Amino acid sequence: MPVDLQALYPKLIHLMLDTVFVVDPDNRIVFVSDACEALLGYRADELTGTLITGYMHPEDLVATKASIVRVMNGQPHFDFRNRYIRKDGGVVSILWAAFWSEEVGARIGVARDVTALAHAEEELRFLAHHDPLTKLTNRALFRDRLETALRAAHRHTSTLALLFLDINDFKEINDTHGHTAGDQVLCEIAKRLQGCVRETDTVGRMGGDEFTVLLTELHGPQAVAEKVEQILAALGEPLSDEFAALRMPSCSIGVACYPADGADADALLGHADEHMYRIKRQRVTFRENLTG
């Protein structure tokens, strides 16, 4: 007995895990497979007859409309990605394969949910530019932002400041309380540093117990001095009870200002680092004199 493929095709479409859409030239949905409920939260009968553009993420509308024009001009699009708003208000990332059918007089698209993949890609992009422990910008991104800020300062004849922080006696915390406790302290330091700066500034972790702060749009040396005092005061606050016997360590801060202390990133980083070590040596010498 021959297989009736014509009768089988509709059932196969509704068995697909990906969602099939058929959309007329006016962007109205004329058919959608049953998988749409898992994808967008709507039943097929809720979507049929409505405008597909009404479900698109507002930030992706321009790019999506450009893709629609491309498809309707006879150029299939097999790798287009955008976001849609689900019935429950959530956002789903979709990978599309779409083409225009002259025979049907509509565009036909197959939509695949790639939300998990999009989140994984976003996480990888974040980790490429941020410290995995503190979530601060890492050395590479901080340097990039410093160089960008230097170009802007040069164009506008403005100033900026670079702070280089080293946590004093941090090794004692790791040696006495363990690296887990040390990591908790580093995260607390990162949190307090971020609380001291504006959105236009950048806090970075250079590695180990070294942090950097980029201050832009400054109004004179006094503003830098006040920011250093604010940071020292914030880091001088005791730790909360959840840290048990841990004591908040002090820090040494070196400062470099553009253009007075250097015209490029290397010069400023070197000057701030050297200044920080001078302060650290003075602290050690002072403590030795007290105990000597």
209 is catalytic: yes
The answer to whether the CB of 25 falls within 8 A of the CB of 117 is no
3-state secondary structure of 166: strand
- Quote the tokens at residue 123: 């996480």
Length of the chain measured in residues = 292
Residues of CATH 3.30.70.270 domain(s) within the chain?
130-291
Of residues 113, 166, 201, 209, which has the active-site annotation?
Answer: 209
The one-digit pLDDT tens for each residue of the chain (292 residues) are: 565 656 656 777 887 899 999 999 999 999 999 999 999 999 999 999 999 999 999 999 999 999 999 999 999 999 999 999 999 999 999 999 999 999 999 999 999 999 999 999 999 999 999 999 999 999 999 999 999 999 999 999 999 999 999 999 899 998 888 999 999 999 999 999 999 999 999 999 999 999 999 999 888 788 999 999 999 999 999 888 888 778 889 999 999 999 999 999 999 999 999 999 999 888 655 444 444 4
251-254 contacts: CB < 8 A, separation 24 or more?
A: 251/165, 251/166, 251/167, 251/168, 251/189, 252/165, 252/166, 252/168, 252/276, 252/277, 252/279, 252/280, 252/283, 253/163, 253/164, 253/165, 253/228, 253/279, 254/163, 254/164, 254/165, 254/278, 254/279
**Residue 18 CB partners (closer than 8 Å, separation 6+):** 35, 110, 111, 112
pLDDT for residue 240: 86
Closest among 161, 167, 235, 160 to 196, alpha carbons compared:
235
Residue 269's identity, in one-letter code, is L
pLDDT for residue 4: 60
**130-291 carries CATH number 3.30.70.270:** yes
Residues of CATH 3.30.450.20 domain(s) within the chain?
5-119
* Torsion sign, CA atoms 31, 33, 62, 89: positive
Angle 179-194/221-236 helices, nearest 10 degrees? 140
Give the whole-angstrom CA distance, residue 192 versus residue 267.
27
Residue 192's identity, in one-letter code, is R
Name which CATH class applies to 5-119: alpha beta
pLDDT for residue 83: 98
The answer to whether the CB of 228 falls within 8 A of the CB of 253 is yes
The answer to whether the CB of 18 falls within 8 A of the CB of 45 is no
pTM of whole model > 0.75? Answer: yes
SS3 content of the chain, % helix, strand, coil (to 5): 50, 25, 25
3-state secondary structure of 214: strand
Mapped to the 3 state alphabet, what secondary structure does 121-132 carry? HHHHHHHHHECC
- Quote the tokens at residue 205: 């972790």
**Residue 10 CB partners (closer than 8 Å, separation 6+):** none
The answer to whether the CB of 207 falls within 8 A of the CB of 139 is yes
Cα radius of gyration rounded to whole Å, the chain: 29
